[in-house]
Every structure is written in structure tokens, then in C-alpha cells.
Amino acid sequence: MQVPKYAQPGQAFKELNVTLELKVIADVGLVGFPNVGKSTLLSRVTNAKPKIANYHFTTLNPNLGVVDLDGADGFVIADIPGLIEGASQGIGLGHEFLKHIERTKVIIHMVDAASTEGRDPIEDINTINAELSAYNEEIAKRPQVIAANKMDVLYGEEEEEAINKIREAFEPNGIKVFPISAVSGKGVKELLYYVRELLDTIDDTPVMFEPEFIPGEHSFANDPYTVEQEEEHVFVVEGPRIERMLGYTNLDSEKGFEFFQRFLKESGILEELETKGIQEGDTVRMYGLHFDYYK
């Protein structure tokens, strides 16, 4: 209708304050201590342009990127801000960061295998796994792979020694270790194709999350109302059903008024008024509304 003649006024309804929590959804979560090179890898393998810098907590919000693979399906990778010990108790914005791992399927643990900041990569992985389990047991059970980063800093025997240590610690548990350099790109391809393999092993039936809030369904058609004689020549009609009907009826418009009259008839209100002995010229009161009764 180009020129509507009938409008319904607004009506009182349930009011609700909601807090919406954003959780990033990605196939793969890239986790690790601060400064290990997570954002560098993301920028190397996707078109994402995360901030990269040589200090901790450069990344404060997850960055997403799409990895394209030749001859295989690509996937979405989320670069999660650096985690530290105590993250599951909220330390270092831990909760803020951990929640973004919840909806990923495979986890890449990234470590600084060259220990450029003096930390032990094996301890780092164990620490992060402990934090993941403490936050949500289920996350820690997801398939994992280790990206031993910053291999370009090491040479010859050093390189082998570093990687063998990590392998000895984790490969017996079925967690593969890939030596890489996010800066040069060395080893990255092998890592990505292996991640693709892991994703392919996962049953991809969608996970259904239980709704935490279900707005009540309520039909107003059967809400009660009452018809009473208040005093001589005055009748009162009230109840939730009446209140609601008046709420969506615009009595100033012709159509609205027609609707109102039809409602009185079809709902049986007119009949009840007559049963209660209403006479022509008596007053009917409905909330703020008074009108004279004529047949």
C-alpha cells in the first residue's frame, strides 16, 4: 500500500538488556607466548596485515586470515593474542584471548624454538596446554601441531638439537613438530598441508550450542478479561487481553475503529455487556477510554 490509512501504535512489551560476546570462528587457532611470531606467520600465509613488533602483546585482538592451498581446500586461521601462565585465571587478558580459541578445530602451538628470549619452548607448550585445559578441557583435546619458529636464527647442529628436543617431548604423544621460519617462509608449506590433513580428519558435523536464553512464547488470544458493572449505567471491561488490543489499535483512524468494533463483537464482549443488563446510552470504560453504548 503506497498510502496506508491504518497504523498501529507501539505497545508496551518486554524489555531486555543483552550482553553480546564476540567469539571468533576459525578453523585453526594459532596460540603461543607473546612475541613468538604468530602474527608474522599469519601475515606470511594469508592476506591479513596484522601488526608485528618486537614486544609482548603486540596483538590485542585476534586477526583472521584465509590460507589458500594449491590442490587442497584452504582454511581460516586466527592469530590469537599471546597467552601467558595464568591466562585461564584471566592474567594478561587471558579470558579475553582464550574465548577466541573455543570455536577453532585445530590448534597450532607456536614456540620460539631458538629461545631468543631465553625461554624453554617445551615448557612454553606445556604451560599453554595447562592453561587451555584449565579454561576448557575440551579445547585441550583438539588436534594440535607444533610450529617451532625462528629456526633461521639457529645453525647446523644447534638447529637439529633444538628441534629434536621438542620432537622427543611431544611426538610420542602424536603431536607433530614442524621447524619453520615465519620470516623466511622455510618449512611453512609443510606445516600448512599437515594442518589441512588434520582438519580433514575432523568430523565436520556442525556443533550445536545450547541456547542460554529462550524468549518466552506467549499467545495473547486467550488472555483473560472481565466485564463488570461498576455503578448504575457504567460498565468496566478490563484485563490483559483488552489492554493489549487497545495497545495496537489506532482508534483515531477509521479502519482502527472498525477493527475495535469488530473485536468487541467477535470476542463476545458486547454479548456479555448485554447479559449484564447494559442499556442504550450507558457508559463503557476500558482503561483510559470511555464510550456510550448504542446498539
Ligand X SMILES: Nc1nc2c(ncn2[C@@H]2O[C@H](COP(=O)(O)OP(=O)(O)OP(=O)(O)O)[C@@H](O)[C@H]2O)c(=O)[nH]1
Question: Is 152 among the residues that bind ligand X (CB under 6 A)?
Answer: yes
Which grid coordinates are listed for 122?
617445551
Shorter beta-carbon distance to Mg ion: residue 100 or 176: 100
Distance from the Cα of residue 113 to its chain's centroid: 34
Question: Is 36 among the residues that bind ligand X (CB under 6 A)?
Answer: yes
Question: Is 96 among the residues that bind ligand X (CB under 6 A)?
Answer: no
Tell the smallest beta-carbon distance from residue 15 to ligand X (Å): 40
Tell the smallest beta-carbon distance from residue 95 to ligand X (Å): 16
Question: Is 293 among the residues that bind ligand X (CB under 6 A)?
Answer: no
Stretch that binds ligand X, among 97-105, 145-153, 231-239, 286-294 (CB under 6 A): 145-153
Which of 55, 67, 137, 165 is CA-nearest to residue 108?
Answer: 67
Residue 150 interacting entry, from Mg ion, ligand X, none, C-beta within 5 to 8 Å by type: ligand X
Shorter beta-carbon distance to ligand X: residue 140 or 153: 153
Measured CA to CA, the distance from residue 42 to residue 28 in angstroms comes to 11
Question: Is 34 among the residues that bind ligand X (CB under 6 A)?
Answer: yes
**CB 59 within 8 Å of CB 106:** no
**Binder to ligand X among 29, 62, 65, 81 (CB under 6 A)?**
81
In DSSP terms, which residues pair with 111 in a beta bridge? 148
* Count helices and strands in the chain by DSSP H and E runs: 9, 10
In DSSP terms, which residues pair with 223 in a beta bridge? none
Residues that bind Mg ion (CB under 5 A): 38-39, 58-59
Measured CA to CA, the distance from residue 31 to residue 132 in angstroms comes to 10
Shorter beta-carbon distance to ligand X: residue 177 or 264: 177
Tell the smallest beta-carbon distance from residue 140 to ligand X (Å): 20
Question: Is 239 among the residues that bind ligand X (CB under 6 A)?
Answer: no
What DSSP character marks residue 5?
-
Question: Is 192 among the residues that bind ligand X (CB under 6 A)?
Answer: no
**Binder to ligand X among 29, 65, 82, 92 (CB under 6 A)?**
82
Q: Where are the alpha helices (DSSP H) in 148-253?
A: 156-170, 188-201, 240-247
Question: Is 94 among the residues that bind ligand X (CB under 6 A)?
Answer: no
Measured CA to CA, the distance from residue 26 to residue 139 in angstroms comes to 14
| Phi and psi at residue 145, to the nearest 5° | -145, 150
List contacts with ligand X (CB under 6 A): 32, 34-40, 52-54, 56-59, 81-82, 149-150, 152-153, 181-183
